[in-house]
């Protein structure tokens, strides 16, 4: 998806009058992803589909369209076949005589969008920082703000001394060294209109010996259309001496006849390889020229790094072809990088509404735009029903809905070792940074590692292995440079030596606790009082993991920050208790406040969490108590995310419920108890459950 909306020529000729060639784009820029679930396709869905599948695709007489379960195949082609031909024996009528192929394609895109919306809450919660700590699958990190500017921060790159080059889209090149930002004077004049301005910056691979720095930008050289200034992407190189831009040389300039008044799709990223410079130019919001080999629009180009055109380019000898073309059919390539191991060139480009692409760039290949796409128009009308066509390359991966992908970078540093050689991809409208694992030319895993912190336009790894990102906001335009700081792995301390109860004490009740076969075993015996096996040390912030097995007809739990007061409850323990529930209710992982408000967070209606517990078997628990946040997992399944600031410190204890006077009984087995108590917040784990804040005055909602 793009920052702006403008139908390309393909649809201007069909649906718009010529006088609408230029419109004000700014108000639409900020709301690109907000269009999800709107427009003609949603109207069509409500007219024909909602009665069976629900207003929000949640299901009804027909199945859910957003739960990822597809009885007849989940590919786009499978779903289209079902819509087209129906499943009469299941009550699904055929729609081929009512809906055309473009409309069917549009409905599929709409389903994909709605599925994302259904998943958004959990994703947002999982990547939300806690205490400034961002949690991911392999590394936790914090964000350090480096600088802020009153405009769009477009490109980040580094010199060998680890100092930073930054482009401000309005036309300023900055050099940041030792915390001091210096403007480089004398850089080219830019045509800063729409998406245009000063764009990419990159030093030559042999910068230390030749000093060359390359810039791409939008320029106006005097060409006009309908008395309006036209522009195009240009590339120059120069050197920086005494904070001035000098020795400028032209590397690429398109003749004025190719300039256009459209305000976007300039492309502009660089890759250096084997003495060549690769760079992209978007379709300039005109669409059809991306398939035209006589124009530079919608292409990846290859030139020598001094600007000469290589005779080995795939269309060099084609009569009338633009000789620098390396690939074509590229809508707006704003991400370009070299794989550090394979040497392959990878590219990301904006689709329309849906259909952003990740492509492996190969010489002479047609990537299909605007003939094929996985997206639709911004107004929710179909673009085309075609996603495949002979002679046109398929993307390695596509985003549907769009994330408005921009800069990309293969991580090559050592500060985040688990991310080595993974692709970091930005998303502007989705406001996210993704980590993409690529193996044998295929995407095998994608993780969102940052979301809703701002429009992520650029990501770059520094020579020292640090990762920098550019976050931008609108109204007014601001750009902020951030550095991601990796956090060390948490240091675990064992709370059980496997031999005896050192560090623990038994209190309040008279049930017996002993050690047997490497486990602490609490036998349910007391008919009058709860017995607790408790640490002899208080803990405030901590991450606690343990395996527990409950045998028999009894209730148990893990007390968190337990308290005792001789003037309350006879001095017995009270406080937060994570429930271990053997009953059919299955509320294991919820929190009950013993001696206080009763149930603070039950698992009523939380089906996935209720299913996590395995009755009378070993179960693994993870409990995070960080400040006023409590989060629990049962066998790896998130069960609770609660905010409550009543108790800041206390003991950890295992409850052995009092024995029923009618008999019964059982035992609680405990092993592998370990804790992180120093800088525990640095070791948090992301959780998909939205946080719920407790009312300090709330009362029990049920018996324990």
**Structural contact between residues 138 and 484, judged by C-beta atoms closer than 8 angstroms:** no
Q: What number of other Cβ atoms are within 10 A of residue 343's Cβ?
A: 9
Which residues of the chain are under the pLDDT cut of 50? 1-32, 699-704
Looking at residue 118, its pLDDT comes to 65
For residue 476, whether the previous peptide bond is cis, meaning omega lies within 30 degrees of 0, is yes
The structure tokens 């005792």 sit at 564
Q: What number of other Cβ atoms are within 10 A of residue 590's Cβ?
A: 26
Looking at residue 44, its pLDDT comes to 82
**Structural contact between residues 50 and 43, judged by C-beta atoms closer than 8 angstroms:** no
Query: Does 265 participate in catalysis according to the annotation?
Result: yes
Strands 637-643 and 692-693: what pairing?
A: parallel
CA pair distance 398, 565, nearest whole angstrom:
60
In this structure, what token pair is assigned to residue 151?
């405009």
Looking at residue 109, its pLDDT comes to 82
**Structural contact between residues 549 and 669, judged by C-beta atoms closer than 8 angstroms:** yes
List CB contacts of 559: < 8 A, sequence separation 6 or more. Answer: 532, 534, 573, 575, 576, 577, 578, 594, 650, 651, 652, 653, 654, 655
Looking at residue 18, its pLDDT comes to 29
List CB contacts of 445: < 8 A, sequence separation 6 or more. Answer: 436, 437
Fold of 134-486: Neuraminidase (2.120.10)
Q: What is the 3-state secondary structure (H, E, C) of 185-243?
A: ECCCCCCCCCCCCEEEEEECCCHHHHCCEEEEEEECCCCEECCEECEEEEEEEEEEECC
List CB contacts of 47: < 8 A, sequence separation 6 or more. Answer: none
In this structure, what token pair is assigned to residue 128?
């939300």
CA pair distance 84, 463, nearest whole angstrom:
54
Give just the sign of the alpha carbon dihedral 405, 407, 412, 416: negative
Q: Do domains 32-127 and 493-693 have the same CATH topology?
A: no
CA pair distance 544, 143, nearest whole angstrom:
26
Select the CATH number that applies to the domain covering 493-693 from these four: 1.10.540.10, 2.60.120.560, 3.40.50.720, 1.10.760.10.
2.60.120.560
Q: Where are the domains of the chain?
A: 32-127, 134-486, 493-693
pLDDT tens for 586-612 read: 999 999 999 999 999 999 999 999 999
CA pair distance 677, 41, nearest whole angstrom:
53
Looking at residue 123, its pLDDT comes to 82
Give just the sign of the alpha carbon dihedral 131, 133, 136, 138: negative
List CB contacts of 210: < 8 A, sequence separation 6 or more. Answer: 204
**Structural contact between residues 443 and 437, judged by C-beta atoms closer than 8 angstroms:** yes
CA pair distance 133, 126, nearest whole angstrom:
12
**Structural contact between residues 374 and 356, judged by C-beta atoms closer than 8 angstroms:** no
Fold of 32-127: Cytochrome Bc1 Complex; Chain D, domain 2 (1.10.760)
pTM as predicted: 0.85
Give just the sign of the alpha carbon dihedral 164, 169, 173, 177: negative
Q: Write out the H or E segment, with its range, that includes residue 565.
A: none
- Largest CA-CA distance found in the chain, in angstroms, rounded: 97
Catalytic pick among 265, 297, 350, 629: 265
Q: Which of 327, 306, 323 is nearest to 315 (CA)?
A: 323
Looking at residue 612, its pLDDT comes to 97
Q: What number of other Cβ atoms are within 10 A of residue 529's Cβ?
A: 16
Looking at residue 131, its pLDDT comes to 93
224 bridge partner residues:
229
CA pair distance 349, 346, nearest whole angstrom:
10
**Structural contact between residues 339 and 346, judged by C-beta atoms closer than 8 angstroms:** yes
Looking at residue 37, its pLDDT comes to 59
């Amino acid at each position: 998806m793009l920052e702006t909306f403008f139908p390309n020529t393909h649809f201007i000729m069909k649906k718009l009058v010529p006088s609408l060639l230029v419109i004000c784009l700014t108000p639409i820029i900020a709301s690109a992803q907000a269009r999800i679930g709107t427009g003609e396709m949603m109207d069509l869905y409500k007219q024909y589909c909602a009665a069976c599948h629900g207003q929000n695709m949640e299901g009804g007489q027909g199945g859910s369209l957003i739960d990822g379960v597809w009885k007849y195949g989940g590919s786009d082609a499978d779903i289209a076949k079902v819509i087209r031909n129906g499943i009469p024996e299941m009550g699904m009528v055929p729609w081929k005589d009512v809906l055309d192929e473009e409309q069917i394609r549009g409905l599929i895109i709409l389903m994909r969008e709605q599925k994302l919306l259904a998943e958004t809450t959990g994703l947002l919660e999982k990547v939300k920082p806690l205490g400034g700590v961002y949690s991911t699958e392999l590394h936790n990190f914090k964000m350090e703000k480096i600088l802020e500017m009153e405009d769009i921060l477009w490109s980040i790159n580094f010199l060998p001394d680890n100092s930073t080059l930054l482009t401000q889209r309005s036309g300023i090149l900055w050099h940041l060294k030792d915390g001091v930002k210096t403007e480089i004077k004398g850089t080219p004049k830019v045509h800063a209109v729409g998406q245009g301005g000063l764009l990419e910056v990159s030093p030559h691979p042999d910068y230390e010996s030749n000093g060359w720095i390359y810039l791409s930008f939008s320029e106006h050289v005097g060409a006009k259309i309908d008395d309006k200034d036209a522009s195009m992407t240009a590339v120059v190189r120069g050197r920086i001496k005494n904070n001035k831009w000098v020795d400028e040389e032209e590397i690429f300039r398109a003749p004025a006849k190719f300039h256009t008044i459209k305000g976007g799709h300039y492309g502009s990223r660089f890759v250096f390889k084997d003495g060549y410079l690769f760079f992209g130019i978007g379709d300039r919001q005109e669409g059809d020229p991306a398939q035209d080999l006589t124009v530079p629009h919608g292409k990846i180009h290859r030139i020598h790094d001094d600007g000469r055109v290589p005779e080995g380019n795939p269309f060099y000898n084609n009569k009338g072809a633009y000789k620098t073309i390396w690939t074509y059919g590229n809508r707006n390539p704003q991400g370009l990088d070299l794989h550090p191991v394979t040497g392959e060139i990878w590219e990301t480009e904006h689709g329309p509404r849906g259909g952003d692409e990740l492509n492996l760039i190969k010489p002479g290949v047609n990537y299909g735009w605007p003939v094929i796409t996985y997206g639709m128009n911004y107004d929710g009308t179909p673009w085309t029903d075609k996603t495949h066509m002979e002679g046109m390359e398929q993307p390695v991966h596509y985003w549907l809905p769009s994330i408005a992908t921009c800069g990309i970078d293969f991580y090559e540093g050592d500060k985040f070792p688990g991310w080595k050689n993974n692709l970091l991809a930005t998303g502007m409208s989705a406001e996210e940074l993704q980590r993409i694992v690529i193996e044998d030319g295929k995407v095998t895993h994608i993780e969102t590692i940052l979301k809703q912190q701002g429009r992520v336009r650029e990501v770059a790894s520094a020579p020292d292995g640090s990762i920098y990102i550019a976050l931008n906001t609108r109204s007014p335009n601001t750009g902020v440079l951030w550095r991601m700081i990796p956090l060390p792995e948490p240091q675990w301390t064992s709370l059980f030596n496997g031999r005896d109860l050192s560090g623990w004490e038994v209190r309040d009740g008279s049930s017996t606790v002993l050690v047997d076969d490497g486990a602490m075993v609490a036998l349910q015996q007391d008919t009058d009082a709860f017995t607790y096996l408790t640490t002899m040390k208080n803990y405030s912030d901590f991450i606690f993991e343990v395996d527990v097995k409950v045998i028999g007809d009894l209730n148990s739990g893990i007390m968190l920050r337990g308290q005792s007061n001789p003037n309350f409850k006879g001095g017995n323990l009270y406080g937060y208790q994570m429930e271990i529930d053997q009953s059919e209710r299955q509320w294991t992982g919820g929190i009950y406040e013993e001696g206080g408000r009763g149930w603070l967070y039950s698992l009523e209606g939380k089906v996935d969490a209720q299913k996590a517990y395995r009755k009378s078997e070993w179960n693994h628990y993870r409990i995070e108590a960080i400040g006023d946040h409590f989060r629990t997992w049962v066998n790896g399944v998130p069960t609770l995310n609660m905010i409550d600031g009543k108790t800041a410190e206390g003991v950890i204890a295992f409850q052995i419920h009092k024995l029923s006077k009618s008999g019964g009984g059982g035992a609680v087995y405990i092993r592998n108890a370990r804790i992180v108590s120093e800088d525990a917040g640095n070791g948090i784990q992301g959780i998909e459950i939205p946080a719920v804040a407790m009312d300090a005055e709330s009362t029990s909602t049920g018996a324990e």
